[in-house]
Structures are given as C-alpha cells and as structure tokens.
A and B are shown apart, each in its own frame.
Chain A
Amino acid sequence: MRTKLIILGTMLLCLLLQCSLLPAISIASVTPNLMIIFTASFGLMRGKRSGLLLGFLGGLLTDLLLGSQGGLFVGLRAFVYMYIGYFSGFCYHIFYDDDIKMPVVLAAAGDLAYGFLFYVSQFLLRGRVDFFFYLRRIILPETVYTVLLTLVCYRLFLLLNQKLDIMDKRSVGSFV
C-alpha cells in the first residue's frame, strides 16, 4: 500500500514538473516528455500490469490537467501511455533493470509512437500532409531531448524502486 502511494506521489510530481518546470527548460521550443520516461521506466522495473495502469492513469491525468488545449480530445494520451507502459512491461523478465540502454530505447520508441499518433490525430486529419516537416521540427527533437532526460531520470527512478523493493521485503519479513 505504502509502495503504491509513493509511486502515485512520484507520478503526480512528474505531472506537475511536466506542466511547470519542463516548458521553462525547453530548447528551441521543444519540451521533453517526462511522463513517457516515467511510464517506460516503471513498466520496465515493475512489469506489465503496473506499467499499463500507471500509463493509463498518468495519461488521463495529463489529458484532464491540460484540458481542451487546442482541439485535443481527452483520452488520447491515456491510450498511448498505457500501451507504452504495457510494452515496457514485456521487458521486465528479459532485461536487468539496472542497464541504462533498455529504458532509453523504450522511452525513445514510446515518444516516437506518441509523436506519430499525435500528428495523425491532430494534424493529418486536418489536411496537414507534410509529415517530414513535423518529424524534423517536433517529433525527432522531442525524442532526442527525452532520451537525454531519460539518462538522468532513470537512475533516480531506479534508486527509488530499489528503496521500495527493500522496504517491501522488510515489511513482509516483519509479518513472518
């Protein structure tokens, strides 16, 4: 229970940072996507189930918090982040979670997929067909910046997760 609350708290903190601090450190008006890093990291460290639940919740909260920004409909981020968390969870049993390469690849793939879906749903449907412009101007820079941020954030998330694991084991031990 305590573990869950701490993870939810971390998610809320990431959400607040995403909406307040990250736009302030944007380079060339491109902001990294901390929520994708969070979802991919925790999917990788805690498995499919946690990944998809955290992704869904985080995406839905982001959607609601940002409200009717542009012509955006609520639920798109919830959907995309959920699948990012789910597919990251596939790697839970296959890869060691203290290897930095895997979360970087997952966050990059997730951000690319998110950017692509966002382009299709918000721009292509309104007749903006120049995909390569959007790829060059927004999707790729955002992915690169997200990858750079993953290198920093994943270590912090990993540290937190290890602390939580130790805490869980200790509380289980005290019952026995």
Chain B
Amino acid sequence: MSHFRSKTLLFILSVLSGIIIILSFVVDFSVNPLNYVAGYVLTPLQSGINQVGGWLSDRMDYFESNLDLAAKNEELQAQVDELTVQNTQLLQDHEELNSLRDLYELDHKYESYEKVGARVIARENAGNWFSIFTIDKGSDDGLAVDMNVLAGAGLAGIITDVGPNWAKVRSVIDDYSNVSAEITETGDTCIIAGSLDLIDDGKINLVKLNDPDSEAKAGDTVVTSHISDKFLPGILIGYISEIQTDPNNLTRSGYISPVVDFKDIKEVLVIKNLKQSI
C-alpha cells in the first residue's frame, strides 16, 4: 500500500512541477515572499562571510614583501606624475568641449549620470552555470531593474533582480548577456554576446559587426551603443582582440578583451539613470 502511495505522490508532484515550470514562463516568480527572506537572512550572512574572506585575504596581503611594494610605489608615483600632466591637458580640453557644447546647445548628458557605489557580496549564486553577482544595495537605496553597473572604468553588467537590500547583476560575460555596442573608431554597431566557454580565456564574443569596408581592427575601442534600449551610450566595454569576416561576407565577428576583471570585482558603481527615462 505504501509503495503505491509513494508512486502516486511522485506522479502528482511530477505533474505539479510541470505545471509550475509552464506557469513560470507566464507568471513572474521573481517577486515572492522567499525573496524577502533572502533579503533579510541571506544578505547579512553573505556580507558576513564576505567580510571574513576579505579579512583573511588582507592578512595574506600583509605578508607580501615590502620591497615589492616599495618598487611598485615608485613605479606608480611616476605614473601619477605622468597622468597628472595628461589630466591637466584633458581638463583644459574638457572645458573647451563644454564651452563648445554650450555654443551648440547640446546637453552635457554623459557626465551628469547619478552614480551610487555598492559592494559585491556574493558571486555565482549557488550554481555554476551563470556569471551573476549580488551587491549589497537594493530598492531601499533607489536601485531598480535595468540599471547599468560599472566596475572601474568599464561596463560590468546590468541589474536583473532587485530586493530591499540587495540586487542581482548579470555581468556582460554571462551566457545570457547580449549588449548592443559600437566601435568608437568607425562608429559601426555590433553585439557583444557573453559565452560560458570563453570566460576562462577572459574574452567575450563580438558578433554581427556591420562593417562593409572592413575598417575595424584589433585594438579598437568597443563602447555601448546609442541604439540599445537598456544600456546607456558610450560606456567602455573593452578592446577588440581578434576580428575576421564571417562566411556570409556581410558581417564580421571576433573577440574583445573586457576592461573589467570579472574574477576580482569587489566594488561597483551603479548608474541610477535609466536609459528609458533619458
């Protein structure tokens, strides 16, 4: 009897999970009470574990040889000097650009994005298939789905899920990620498509580059394009590392090297302006 009952149970639950799977294509399950549990229980846990990890790696760094650091310091100082000179020059150019823009009555929209900093508290949530990370700010801090996330100088990803005190960011190397981009040098548009089998090589796919004259070459800069409906224009993604013409002779494809080091993201900047509202 009990044998029969567990079989029936298995059948009923199989049908039930089938129904849930079908339902989840229609209904949005991302807002559920469990997500609030995740917010109030998991977020403190994760940031605690993260702090312990950070403390440990700090101790490790402490033992790094002093000589090494001194040499590095000297090198960096030289770089600072060089960059200061460059920066002064750029500031002058910037002023000039602004005044010229005023003349043309263009708004200075690129520098007026409102940004907020956040800390990465968990990476690759519990599964091995995705490149998604969780940050420690959420809707309480004014974040919303589809906001762009930067790490250092470049585009890290986009917010896909948001809770009261956490948000999930799908990085541009994730297998599900597709970003509309353009080559700065030529102005041609392409798609930057993340792929799981390229993550270990530190590369991202560049596909559907519309470049009839084969102008784009390795080393060119790839930024987000003006035609995307989710990504703000002009954010640096990376540099072309390899490019060739597709067999169809119409488009070109290749690889880019991202500027963000995705293995080592600790702090990110979230742009609070949404593309739709600009």
Chain A contact residues, CB within 8 Å of chain B: 16, 18-24, 26, 29-31, 47-49, 52-53, 56, 59-71, 73-76, 78-79, 82-83, 86, 89, 118, 122-123, 126, 128, 130, 133-134, 137-138, 141-142
Given the complex of chains A and B, what is the CA–CA distance between A82 and B12 in angstroms? 11
B86 at the interface (CB under 8 A from A): no
B128 close to A29 (CB less than 8 A): yes
B126 close to A31 (CB less than 8 A): yes
Given the complex of chains A and B, what is the CA–CA distance between A18 and B197 in angstroms? 24
A24 close to B128 (CB less than 8 A): no
Contacts A79-B14, A123-B196; A74 near B126 (Cβ below 8 A): no
B161 close to A134 (CB less than 8 A): no
Closest to A145 in B: B128
**Which of the 9-residue segments B17-25, B239-247, B253-261, B268-276 touches chain A?**
B17-25
Chain B, residues 168-199, CB within 8 Å of chain A (1/0): the string is 10100011100000000000000000001100
Chain A residues with CB under 8 Å of B128's CB are 29-31, 138, 141-142
Contacts A16-B41, A24-B50, A70-B170; A64 near B132 (Cβ below 8 A): no
Number of A-B contacts (CB under 8 A): 146
B124 close to A31 (CB less than 8 A): yes
B21 close to A70 (CB less than 8 A): no
Chain B contact residues, CB within 8 Å of chain A: 2, 5-6, 9-10, 13-14, 17-21, 23-25, 28-30, 32, 34-35, 37-38, 41-42, 45-46, 49-50, 53, 122-130, 132, 160-161, 168, 170, 174-176, 196-197, 200
B126 close to A23 (CB less than 8 A): yes
Q: What are 24 of the A-B contact pairs (CB < 8 Å)?
A: A19-B38, A19-B46, A20-B42, A20-B46, A21-B45, A23-B122, A29-B128, A31-B124, A31-B127, A49-B6, A52-B6, A53-B9, A65-B34, A67-B168, A70-B130, A70-B176, A73-B21, A75-B19, A75-B23, A82-B13, A82-B14, A123-B196, A128-B197, A142-B128
Closest-CB distance, A115 to chain B (whole angstroms): 8
Chain A residues with CB under 8 Å of B35's CB are 64-65, 67
Given the complex of chains A and B, what is the CA–CA distance between A133 and B24 in angstroms? 29
Partner of B175, one of A21, A26, A70: A70
Closest-CB distance, A135 to chain B (whole angstroms): 12
B132 close to A79 (CB less than 8 A): no
B13 close to A69 (CB less than 8 A): no
Given the complex of chains A and B, what is the CA–CA distance between A26 and B122 in angstroms? 12
Closest-CB distance, A74 to chain B (whole angstroms): 4
Task: A20-B45, A68-B30, A134-B197 are known; give 14 further A-B pairs, CB within 8 A.
Answer: A19-B42, A19-B122, A20-B46, A20-B49, A31-B126, A31-B127, A47-B6, A60-B20, A62-B126, A65-B34, A67-B32, A71-B176, A78-B20, A82-B10
Closest-CB distance, B53 to chain A (whole angstroms): 6
Closest to B163 in A: A67
The prevalent SS among residues of A at the interface is: helix
A16 close to B176 (CB less than 8 A): no
Partner of A79, one of B17, B28, B174: B17
Closest-CB distance, B165 to chain A (whole angstroms): 15
Closest to B19 in A: A75
Given the complex of chains A and B, what is the CA–CA distance between A38 and B14 in angstroms? 20
Given the complex of chains A and B, what is the CA–CA distance between A75 and B16 in angstroms? 9
Closest to A139 in B: B128
Chain B residues with CB under 8 Å of A19's CB are 38, 42, 46, 122, 125-126
Chain B residues with CB under 8 Å of A16's CB are 41-42, 45
Given the complex of chains A and B, what is the CA–CA distance between A22 and B9 in angstroms? 32
Closest-CB distance, A147 to chain B (whole angstroms): 15
Partner of B18, one of A23, A68, A69, A75: A75
Chain A residues with CB under 8 Å of B130's CB are 69-70
Partner of B24, one of A62, A74, A137, A138: A74
Given the complex of chains A and B, what is the CA–CA distance between A59 and B168 in angstroms? 20
Given the complex of chains A and B, what is the CA–CA distance between A120 and B80 in angstroms? 51
Closest-CB distance, B56 to chain A (whole angstroms): 10
Chain A residues with CB under 8 Å of B41's CB are 16
A69 close to B6 (CB less than 8 A): no
B34 close to A26 (CB less than 8 A): no
